[in-house]
Amino acid sequence: MASGSRSLFTVQTAPSARAIALSLLVESDSSEEGIDVLLERALAPSSFDSRDRALTVELTYGVLRRRATIDWRLEPVLDKPLLRLPVAVQMVLRLGAYQILFLDRIPQSAAVNESVNLAKAFTGTVGRDWSGFVNAVLRAFLRHPPEPWPDMNLDAAHALAVRYSVPDWLSRRWVKRLGLASAERACEGVSITPPLTLRVNQLVTTRESLLDTFAQAGITATPTSVSPFGILLQEGGPVPSLPGFDEGAFYVEDEAAQLIPLLLDPQPGDIVLDTCAAPGGKSTHMAALMQNKGIICAVDRKETRLNLVRSNCDRLGVRIVEPIVGDIRQPREWVPLVTAARPPSVKQARRGEPAIDRILVDAPCSGLGVLRRHPEAKWRKDAQALPRHQALQYQILESVASCLRPGGVLVYSTCSTEPEENEDVIERFCRAHAKFQRESAVSWLPPVAQGFVNERGALSTVGNQFSMDGFYAARLRKVL
C-alpha cells in the first residue's frame, strides 16, 4: 500500500480494493507523486489477486477521471459544498457515486453499503463517525432523479467542464482559444481512457516479430497508425507479465512521444545531450536509432530519477547513455561531465567550439497534453502554472544554446497543448538567438504524421484523429 495510506483506517483487517482506492485517492489529494506511482507501490504486495487489482485501478482512475461530473451529480443531495467536507469523506462519497453512475456490474446497494463500511473504518482519523452521513447522502443520491446536463447555450464552458470532467478554468480557456467545436473535442479527449501503447526496441527485435510473439500468446495487438515503432494492445494488464518485457523487447510509450526522436534524427557516433532525461524513454529510443553507437548524455536533477534511466537502459540493452546529475540551467554542473564523457576534437577545442551534435530539450511543462494518462493532474493545476513553466523552459533553452556545435540540431518538445509553452517559447528564443533557424518537421516524419505539422513547421498532435497524446516539437538548426 502507498506510504502513509494505512493510517487512514483504524481497523486492522486486510484492505479491500475499495479501501486501497480510498487511501490512494486521499493520498493523491496532497501528494506530488503521480497516481500511477502511488498505485504501483500500493499493489506491489503479491497477496492481491487479479480481480482486486483490477477493481482498485478501475475505482482509483475512474474517480479521478470523472471527478467533476461526480461532484456535480452529488451537489443536489448535499446540504453543504462537497469541498468543505474532510477529504476522506469527499473521496468516499465520490467512490460510492462512481460505482452507482458508471459500474453497472456492481449492485447499487453494495456500492452504498461498502461506502458506509469505509466511513466507519476511518472514523478515528477524521474526528467523528461519518458513516451515517455517507449512508444518508448516497441513499438520497439513489432516489434523486438525474439532472439534465447543463445547457450549452447558457454557459458552454461550464457545460463542457461538467460533461467531460475537466477543470472549469481549462474548459473556459479552450473555448476561448479553440472555439466551441474544437474545445469539445479537446475536453472529450481528456476524459477517455488511453490505450496501452508500446514502442518496439529495435536493438532487440522488430515490430513484426513482437506482434507474432503477442499473437502466439493470445494477446490482441495491432501496429500503430502513425509511429513506425508502435504497437497498440487492446487490453491493459501488468506490463511486466507481457512476453518480451524481461528481454527488453519494448518500452511503454505513447505514439506521439515516439515521433520526437525522429525529429532530432540522431546518427550513429553522434554526441547527444538529453536534458531532463528521466525516466529515459527518449534516451533509449535515440540509442536504438543510433544503433548503440555514440554517446547520449542524459542529464537530470535527481539521482533517484536517473536510477530510472539506468534501470530502463539495463533492461533495454542500451549501452551508450551516460546519466549525469545536474541542474540543466546551470551548465557548470554538467558541462565538465559531458566533456569528460567524450572530449571535443582537437580542432573543436582549438576553436573553442562545443562538441555536442544534437540536443533534445524535452522540457518540464504543464502536462496538459497527457491529462488522460494522469487524471490526478487535472485537479492539481491552474492557469498560473503556465507562465511559471514558460520561464523555466526558456531558461533551459538559454542554458544549452551555446553547447551545440555549429550545424548541430536542437529539438524542443513538450507534452503541453498551450501556445505559452510551445510557440511562444520558440519564437522568443529564435528572436534572441539569430544563429538558430527553424526547420520544418515534415522531412523527418513518416508520411502519415506529416499532417500534424503546423504552419510554423512544428509537430503538434493536439486533437488529431489517432487518439495520441498532445505533444509539441520544434526543430532548430544552429547555422554556421
Residues marked active site are found at 415
Q: Quick one: cell of 277?
A: 532525461
CA dist., res. 3 & res. 44, Å (int): 12
Counting Cα atoms < 13 Å in the Cβ hemisphere of 243 gives 14
Counting Cα atoms < 13 Å in the Cβ hemisphere of 24 gives 32
Q: Are 198 and 191 in contact (CB under 8 A)?
A: no
Burial of 200 (0-12, 13-18, 19+ CB in 10 A): buried
Torsion of CA 441, 447, 449, 452, to 10 degrees: 60
Q: Which amino acid is located at 311 in the chain? A: S
- By DSSP bridging, strand 472-478 and strand 459-460 are antiparallel
Nearest partner of 474 among 431, 424, 432, 433, judged by Cα = 424
Backbone angles phi, psi at 208, to 5 degrees: -65, -40
- By DSSP bridging, strand 271-275 and strand 356-362 are parallel
**Contact residues for 371 (Cβ-Cβ < 8 A; gap 6+):** 166, 190, 377, 378
Nearest partner of 91 among 162, 10, 17, 28, judged by Cα = 28
437-447 burial, b if ≥16 CB within 10 A, otherwise e?
eeebbeebbee
Residue 47 CA to its chain's centroid (Å) = 28
Backbone angles phi, psi at 274, to 5 degrees: -110, 105
Q: Can you tell me which residue has the cell 538559454?
A: 398
274-305 burial, b if ≥16 CB within 10 A, otherwise e?
bbbbbbbbbbbbbbbbbeeebbbbbbbbeeeb
Q: Can you tell me which residue has the cell 564523457?
A: 341
Neighbours of 236 (CB within 10 A): 12
CA dist., res. 51 & res. 60, Å (int): 14
